[in-house]
Each structure stands twice: as C-alpha cells, then as structure tokens.
A = this chain, B = another copy of it.
Amino acid sequence: MINVGIVGGTGYTGVELLRLLVQHPEVNIQVITSRSEAGIEVAEIFTNLRGHINLKFSDPAESMLDTCDLVFFATPNGTAMQQTEALINANVKVIDLAADFRIKSIVEWEKWYGMKHACPDLVSEAVYGLPEVNRTQIKTARLVANPGCYPTAVQLGFLPLIEAGIVDIDHLIADVKSGVSGAGRKAAVHTLHAEASDNFKAYSASGHRHLPEITQGLSNISDKPVGLTFVPHLVPMIRGIHATLYATLTKDIDLQKLYEERYADEAFVDVLPHGEHPETRSVRGSNLCRIAVHRPQNSNTVVILSVTDNLVKGAAGQAIQNMNLMFNLPETMGINQVPLLP
C-alpha cells in the first residue's frame, strides 16, 4: 500500500483525488490537509464521500507529510514550490497538480504567474507528467508536474501531427472550451449559476497562463518553437473540455491512420472512427481523452476534436496515472471507471 498525503483538499481537484483514491486498491489516504477546514470531517464538506472516508482535514503544520510515500499538492499556484524541497529530501515523492513546476523557463513562469519562484532548482528536475509523451521519465521521477487541463487536451490533440512533421507549426490554432469547474471551487461572481448558465463567452483571448505550457510542450516535440493562437471559452456545464484544433497541412497523408497508430497502445486515448464527433459527456468522470480527426472539404486545413474531463484526465485522474507509473503499478489501476452518461 502507498501511504498518500493530499495538501489542500477542499478544491475540486482535491475532492476528485479523494473520489478516485478511496477505491484505489493500493492506496491508503494517510492525511489530507486544509488550513480553513482543519478538524472537520471530509465527508461533511463533500457529501458524496459520506460512507467512503473517515478522515478529518488536518492542519498543514501538524500533518507529518514527510511520513507519506507520496504527496499530492491540490493547492493554488505558489504553494507546492514552498514545501516540495523538504519532502523530496525526506524521500517523499511529489505530484503537483498546480503549475509550480510545469514551465522550465523561470522567467516565463514568473511573468505569467506574477510571483517569484521559490524553488527554481527543482524545476529542471521535475518531469512533466503527460504519460503519452514522458512515460519513461515519469517512472523514475521524484517530482512530477501534473499538466494543466487545457494543455492535456490540446497537446494530445496536436501530438501526432507535430511528431509527423506534417503541419505548419507557425500557425496553430486552439479554440478550447471548458466547463465551469475549471475555475475552481472558490467564491466568485462570474462563475455563479445565475451568471454562467445559459451563457457562452470567450475569456483571456489576449493571453492565458496555459499558453506557455502548451507551446513549451509542442515545441519540445517539434524541436522548434511553435506559434499558437489559444482562445479559451466558458461552457455552461460542470465538467469537460473540448478542444477544437486547426492546423494547415504541409503533407498529404492518411490522418486517421496516423492517429490510430500513434495511440494504439495508449489506454487513455481513444481515437474515434472516421467522421465522428466526440462529446464531453462521453468521458464524464473518466480518465479518457477521445479524439476525432476531420478534414473539411478536403482542404489543407485539418480539424482535430479532443475531449477530456478536466477534473480527471485534466487533473486528478492523470495525477493518479502518474502515481501508478511512479510506483510501478498497472497504469490503469483505480482509474478505469466507465464514464457517467447520461
């Protein structure tokens, strides 16, 4: 059994980690911390967990995280970088679900996240936890930077095209749409039901924090800097990300075959049959990414549709996938749920 600690368990990625970990056959949840809710039963805050967990939130200061085998940080950006070094030195593995270790360039990170990085040394060691790209390195990593929700859907969508070198990488377009849980479980006006339901809008069109993460990932694959226009939108639904990706083909190959072969051995990437359109609910509550490939009017513009559940493959599920790899467990263990539909 892996003794697991969770730091910051009161957000959506926290409760999603709990939903999955309480039934993971090789995990013992040893501690879950929350400054604001210390002393309160977890199941009192997250009523779906009543009967599945008997644990109270504990004060971070008294949590003895260094006795865990693995600590997940489900905290706001800027928290994990304060505590990771001590844990690593105590031989505790760390998976950060926030952005602290995702961007290799400290300058770039500090620009987009608006704070000084507390732990730049570990950034270069951290492995970017996208198993479909970095599986080998993840297996031996001490510190995994779990990818963002948009970056997961976008990179998995573009990956085969860029690896194959058959698109103009200077003019990629990612028109992405997210459910409201992507904004987190925090009091706010613009994500109230009365504001966000029965409504649709773009936001951060001039620049979103996930842009440098995606371009870093795609540039690593292409070995050249890519040019990406990235426009996120807010969808009146709870979970789900839908990326609609556009690229200009520079070569004419069988795109369906390219995608099917690239992902043939991936348990969590499902390439749909030719002509289909994935829908977000088809992955609701699951760790899957479903992808479809279109080439409208047979022009040289390829359209990739890529969907995930932002809280699972886009956060907690992928973190557990990384944990399974780091602890040499079957990669799908505990995260093979059937999506909930309808």
C-alpha spacing A192/B196, complex, angstroms: 8
Interchain CB contact under 8 A, B303 and A205: yes
C-alpha spacing A145/B199, complex, angstroms: 29
Least CB distance from A215 to B in Å reads 10
Chain A interface: which size bin?
35 or more
Interchain CB contact under 8 A, B205 and A231: no
| A338 interface neighbour in B19, B235, B288, B295, Cβ under 8 Å | B19
- Residues from chain B with a CB closer than 8 A to the CB of A227 are 299
Q: Which of A16-59 contact B (CB under 8 A)?
A: 19, 22-23, 46-52
| A236 interface neighbour in B237, B270, B282, B341, Cβ under 8 Å | B237
Given known contacts A192-B191, A270-B51, A305-B202, A341 and B46 CB-to-CB distance under 8 angstroms: yes
Stretch in A115-123, A242-250, A321-329 touching the partner:
A242-250
Interchain CB contact under 8 A, B198 and A237: yes
| A194 interface neighbour in B175, B179, B272, B299, Cβ under 8 Å | B179
A48-B281, A50-B270, A191-B194 are known; give 9 further A-B pairs, CB within 8 A. Answer: A19-B338, A47-B282, A191-B192, A193-B236, A195-B342, A203-B277, A206-B294, A231-B244, A239-B342
